[in-house]
Amino acid sequence: MADFRATWFFNDAVDNVGWTENWWISATDAPSALAIVANYQVVRSNLLLDSSAITAIRICNVNAPRDSYYDPTGLPVAGTIARATYPLAGVWDCLLCRRDSALNNVLGHLFLHMVPAAIFTGRVYNPGAVSGVGWIAKFAAFVAEVTGGGYLLRTNPAGGPITYPVTNVFLGLRRSERKLGRPFDALRGRRAVA
């Protein structure tokens, strides 16, 4: 089995910004890796404002540099939360979550961008304020997806990279800020197209 990195490319049409989210997967080939994480764009778009969309996904075999796979099927996937009803928290504001392994010894941070302001009271995560869109149930579905066994955390100790299954997501630690970049144009590099 090889290690693959899945990268989702996001774009917000109103604020004209772009960002990525990455997860590690172990699979025999790129199409198999894509199949493992196929539901990510569904559960992630449910937590995204409707001005934003997942515009691309790239699967890269990190054991064979420059070997990437892009499948445009079903893209773009737009967010489902109405920005007119639930305004944006802020262009740089995001929900900080922590993902961890079963032993709570390998952690990674996850920054969920383009979320509604109503999930925060000040800097504190308060998901009950957006009950009209079913935020808590949608967030639970997102957590169930990423802790279901296929998504991995990767460390790089002296002996070489090691991956661990994500089994815990400490939800909504707090409001945080992360700068966003320009929207992505054509993906670079050599890749196979499905």
Q: How much is the pLDDT for 65? A: 67
Q: How much is the pLDDT for 142? A: 93
Strands 52-61 and 2-12: antiparallel
Show the DSSP H helices in 3-134 as ranges.
30-36, 40-45
Q: How much is the pLDDT for 194? A: 47
Alpha carbon distance 66, 91 (integer Å): 32
Q: How much is the pLDDT for 171? A: 63
Listed by start position, the domains of the chain span: 2-179
Q: How much is the pLDDT for 172? A: 61
127 in Cβ contact with 89 (< 8 Å):
no
Residue 97 vs residues 13, 130, 143, 148: alpha-carbon distances, Å: 25, 18, 10, 17
Q: How much is the pLDDT for 181? A: 81
Query: What is the mean pLDDT of each successive set of 10 residues along the chain, which is 194 residues long?
Result: 88 92 92 94 95 94 79 90 92 90 79 92 84 86 90 83 82 78 63 46
Q: How much is the pLDDT for 158? A: 78
Q: How much is the pLDDT for 190? A: 45
Q: How much is the pLDDT for 23? A: 94
Strands 93-100 and 107-113: antiparallel
